[in-house]
Each structure stands twice: as C-alpha cells, then as structure tokens.
Amino acid sequence: MSTVLQAKELGRWYGQVAGLTELTVDVPPGVTGLIGPNGAGKSTFLKLIVGELRPSRGSIQVLGEEPFANRRLYRRLGFAPQQDAFYDEMTGLQMVRLLLRLAGFDRGEAERRAREALDRVELEEGRDRRIGTYSKGMRQRVKLAQAIAHDPELLVMDEPLNGLDPLGRRLVLRLLGELAAEGVSVIVSSHVLHEVENLTRQVILLHRGRLLAQGEVGEIRRLLSQHPARVAVRARRPRELARTLLADELVRATGLDDDGATLHVETSDLEGFFSLLTAVCSSESYGVSSVESLDAGLEAVFDYLVA
C-alpha cells in the first residue's frame, strides 16, 4: 500500500467554527508526525481519521476505506486520544480486557492480549490496581496499551507524551519505534516538536485548520531557502571573527549574544558558511569552541512557515 491515508479537500466545522479547512494530504506508511500549536486542528484531523467524526465536506480514505461508522475498519485501527474516559473503579487489566471483549475477542484471548499489552508498556506491576489510583503517566500508558492490544495496522496517537516523566517519554518513544519496525504505521500528534523529530523525519504541519507543509524536515527546510539560516558560534575572539566573516557575501549579518562570547550569524547558504568558517579558522585562531545551527529543528521551521 503506497498510502495509509488520503484526504481530499477535507473539512470539518463546529457550527460557525472551522476545525479543519480544505485539507488535501496523502500519508505514506511508516511513522508520521502531526505538528501544530494548540488549536491547529490536529485533534479534529485525528478524530476524522479514526471515524469519530463525519467530514463536513471533502473525503478521507484510511487503509482504503471511509472511516466514519465503519466497524470493519475499527479492528484495523488503534487510537489513543488526548483525554481518557476510563472507569476509575476498574483495574488497568480489567479496562483493557473489557475493551478487547467489546471488540469481539473471546474471554481467553482478551485476557492474554490485555496482559501482553500492559507488560509491553511496563505496567505489569500496576495492572491489578484501580485506575483511580494511577498517576497521569500510568493512565497514559493504559491508553497506549488498549490502542495496541488488538495488533492494529495503523496506530493514531493524540499528544501521547503529555503528563509523562522523562522515563515514561523514553518508554513511549522506544515502543513507537519498535511498532514501526514491526510494520505498524503510526500517526502521532504533538506540539513538543523536538520529541517528534526524534521519532520521525516525516511531518505534517497544520496551522489554523489548514495544511502548512508536509514532507521530511530537510525538504520543508528547503522551502525556506529565501530566509536566512542562523548559526551560533562561541569563540574567544567573537568580534574579530565577526569582522572577518562580514567581508564575505555569504554572511548577511552578525550580532553578539548577551554573554559577549556567542556570535550569531545570518547566512544565505548554510553549507557554504560552514566551509567558510572552517577556512577562516584554519588560517587564524579565533578560539571557536562550538558551532550550532539554530534552524536545524522543527521549531524553527514551524516559526518560519507560520510567519
């Protein structure tokens, strides 16, 4: 399958408010990050993907089928929403087992799958405790367990890293990587940009319900070639280095940070600038101790595209 999802002029309104507008996008197999600030339309898009909402206009195909009210497709999807709706008096094991029974698994199979899924999210010790006693991170892991317990082809996760401590975040990121290696496609939304970037290079950027950009981070960055790239250079002699660099046409502007030791450089050609910096420093010692591209991450890309 060349795509797991196809949306054409997809829109969803809540009364007079547009949650999603004219979205046309193809999502390939593998892991895709859905990026955007709060209110960008990420949750609306995910609910359309898993069939919780009917489109107001346009069309969407998921794994070759229309998702709304499609019970056959639901068995092929796993969904971990942003909010949970657990029965707090149930244990984690009882909750996941119940959802598997509702999905059509017999009692023995539901028990086996529930235990395996909870073990996989490292909740084996807490699975017999009431969910009402769980921390936010434990509740997040139960959501993930129920989403993967039936071996879905496509896993959809809305802000799965919210409320997790560093160990919990590492667990979720590792598990998503394992699932992707097993052939499960994953769509994961987040506004924690660097964490999604650690998981995948394939991203979709939404802003105010519209598609802002799609592709690999490098491809999106190349869309911004008209913008200067920014580099931070720490050096013992930053002022002298700035004067030397400004003599070259690749450098548009320079400025010193408040610490007086970090030089900020704007350049029209990032690769060319790195070659220039290497040549300059090899001919004279400016005491350069570090060089950092400030536009390498998704956050800078997003800020540029929104602007």
pLDDT digits (tens, 9 = 90+) for 183-222: 999 999 987 677 777 788 899 989 889 998 888 877 776 6
Q: What is the mean pLDDT of residues 137-162?
A: 93
pLDDT bin (cut points 50, 70, 90) of residue 55 is very high
Task: Note the helical H segments in the chain.
Answer: 42-49, 71-74, 92-102, 107-120, 136-148, 166-181, 193-199, 217-222, 238-246, 270-283, 298-306
Q: What is the mean pLDDT of residues 211-234?
A: 77
pLDDT bin (cut points 50, 70, 90) of residue 297 is low
pLDDT of residue 24 exceeding 70, the answer is yes
Q: Which of 62-71, 85-94, 266-275 has the lowest mean pLDDT?
A: 266-275
Angle at 190 between CA 186 and CA 191, to 5 degrees: 155
Task: Look up the pTM and report it.
Answer: 0.78
pLDDT bin (cut points 50, 70, 90) of residue 227 is low
Superfamily for domain range 5-218? P-loop containing nucleotide triphosphate hydrolases (3.40.50.300)
pLDDT of residue 221: 65
Which one, of 147, 131, 62, 137, lies nearest residue 91 by Cα?
131
pLDDT of residue 184: 96
**Domain regions of the chain by residue span:** 5-218, 229-306
User: What percentage of the chain reaches a pLDDT higher than 70?
Assistant: 92
pLDDT of residue 88: 95
**Domain spanning 229-306 has what CATH number?**
3.30.70.260
Q: What is the mean pLDDT of residues 114-133?
A: 95
pLDDT of residue 192: 67
- Mean pLDDT, the chain, as a whole number? 89
pLDDT of residue 18 exceeding 80, the answer is yes
pLDDT of residue 301: 65
